[in-house]
Chain A
Amino acid sequence: MLDAAFMCRWMSVTAAAVDREAARLTDLDSAIGDADHGANLRRGFTTVTEVLTKETPDTPGAVLALAGRQLISTVGGASGPLYGTLLRRAGKALGDATEVDRERLAEALGAGVAAVAQLGGAAAGDKTMLDALLPAVEALGASFAAAAEAADAGALATVPLRARKGRASYLGERSVGHQDPGATSAALLMGALAEAAA
């Protein structure tokens, strides 16, 4: 079963992964965006871990909601509201339960991903974080490892796509051939979930 401490661990593993991969995220972003994705996410997840160390909520839902609120307040750009909404909505969907199982978390993340799709007006195939999140949440019903693998595969599959949302969309055809930085960071988040569960 997954409790508040597990969710805190997920967030701190994510922060470490984002910190480790910040330069790669920024390089991907400089090809089709504006070269700030790594620095922005690192700033956000660093403050998430700081806040969670100071006050640890009692429930898994409250941990994710607090993390999401923190991302909205610190990341900026499109990533702040999008990642913030993902975690906040997932946290709210978990409710007051003190422990949840993997299937319940998959459902909650599904609600978060739906909120992200609505906020950004994006769908599968638009070359966004959704291309990693949608298959990952579906695979999470099977196992944590499957979710991480599905997210990685989804991020890789954005390479040949033409961006239809966000700053990369302004490049039109020139966005083809580059991996989407948002899908890549979403894969880091799902990889961290598998690592926290291992």
Chain B
Amino acid sequence: MSIIEFARKKSPWVLHVNAGGCNGCNLELLSCLTPRYDVSRFGVYNTDNPKHADVMIVIGPVTLKYKEIITNLYNQMPDPKVVMAVGTCTCTGGIYQGCYGHCGALDQVLPVDVYVPGCNVRPEAIIDGLVLALDMLNEKERKILEDKKAKAKGVA
């Protein structure tokens, strides 16, 4: 385990994006950050800056107006990054299927790594998803390092 990997496992920084949808899952994510389901004891910190974030938590079916902004935010995040789709409407469109104002699901816009279904999700499910996201983050980290090594060898 490299030192970066170790540090990331101890403290993933999270970017909370609401891309439409009702507030149900938003509130549950807020509940996650507050005393009852305190995720900050695992080192999870809710950052406001996409340039500092490791995990992007998206809530709601991406609306047509928000599509551009969310890709912008995604591009600003440094590698490795993990995208988490929280809530049924983010995973599949859910109840909003057939409404005209949204893209359908998050995976139409961004590559999604972790799906957390449920309408609305429970805080326990979000914590489960975060734990899964951490493993993926480390996997991606390892892959990037290996690629770098292979490249260095090729140059030498």
Q: Say whether A associates with B.
A: no
B: residues with CB less than 8 A from A are none
A: residues with CB less than 8 A from B are none
